A and B are shown apart, each in its own frame.
Chain A
Amino acid sequence: MTGKALFTGRDDEISLRSRSRPRARLRRGISANRLLVSETDSWRGSGGPEHIGNGYGDGYGNEATTRLRPRDSDVDRGTSLIELLVVLALLSVMVLVGAQLVVHSMELLGATGRAVRNPLVVHVTSRLRHDVQEAAGLQQKQWVWSEDPLILVNQDGSFTGIALENGSLVRTKAAGLGSPPESRVILRGVAAWWWRNPVEGVVDLNITYLVNPEPERQASRDVGFGLERRQENLRFAIRGGGGGTRW
């Protein structure tokens, strides 16, 4: 139902009022919307008003429609102090968490770069595993932990020695007694080397070496460059004798 239908029979009166005081009527807000539409239609039907408003309209009621919007003071009433404080508190929490995240990410990045330079101990343990398991026996038995070189007697009569020399784990291979040995460093940064054979045919190895801390460890968050001691405990059964119970 249009405003015109609502006010049937009173268009002339309304039109007269709007011509006399257009601005005052238009400021009555939404409740006057239908009424003003009716007024506009009336104006169009009668050729429209000569001039209404402040001069920005087209003379056909468009100015009136624009000015039907709620007043600016009703919409932009500003923010209260409490709202502002809440927003500031939320922003502070976000900045705090974000800063912590960035700091931790940078530490993680640096620790990862250092940890990449760690020796690949898995190759060393693989080498030791192969040497001990393929050996036929030990040249010298040691029931308690010892720092002395571990000398393995191989199936072909050659010798393989593992010893700690100047902070490096050195593997020495000799074809036999009196033959020139061939030495090779298999792990650097070794802090301690221990071995024993608690029972016949079993060799325990204990290697302590220095590495850069893993990025995930708490120690990696320390400022500076701190090395970490790691310990490998290995147990191998000597199987090179053949025909025994080691298989």
Chain B
Amino acid sequence: MAVVVAAGFLDAHMSAARRLEARSDLVRATETVLESVRGGTLPLVSGEVDLTDEFQPLSSIRVRTTVAVTGKDPQGLFSVRVEARAMVRTEDMVVTITTQVWRPQ
């Protein structure tokens, strides 16, 4: 019984560490997408983003990023919602950053 309980604790520790590492990767991926949009590397349109060249996660996860752009008032102001998603073990982790981008014509 003690062996089983101890093994459970170890597994929980590793699982928590993996989730933390994955979350850090998701935050960095989100920031990379957002900075790319701000800098003009990525167009200011909604859709999925492929970060193969710009971003490599530290952990062994596959990150999927999407951008949702919504026009706001005044004209030239946009609400940008960047979402990074990855499967960590059986858990679907999502990190989202919503900000505004000023892009006057």
Residues of A whose CB lies within 8 Å of any CB of B are 94, 97-98, 101, 104-105, 108, 198-202, 204, 214-216, 230-231, 233-239, 245-247
Contacts and interface: CB of A to CB of B under 8 A. Distances in A.
B102 A233 contact: no
B35 A233 contact: no
B39 interface: yes
Interface stretch (B2-10, B64-72, B89-97): B2-10
Contacts of B13: 108, 216
A235 B55 CA distance: 9
Contacts, number: 69
Given A214-B21, A216-B17, 17 more contacts: A101-B3, A104-B10, A214-B17, A233-B55, A233-B56, A234-B28, A235-B36, A235-B41, A235-B55, A236-B39, A237-B35, A237-B36, A237-B39, A239-B38, A245-B102, A245-B103, A246-B38
Contacts of B101: 247
B73 interface: no
Given A215-B17, A216-B14, A245-B103, A230 B39 contact: no
Interface residues of B, number: 26
Interface in B51-105: 54-56, 58, 101-104
Contacts of A204: 54
Among A104, A215, A246, the most chain B Cβ lie within 10 Å of the Cβ of A246
Contacts of A246: 38-39
A101 B40 contact: no
Contacts of B36: 202, 235, 237
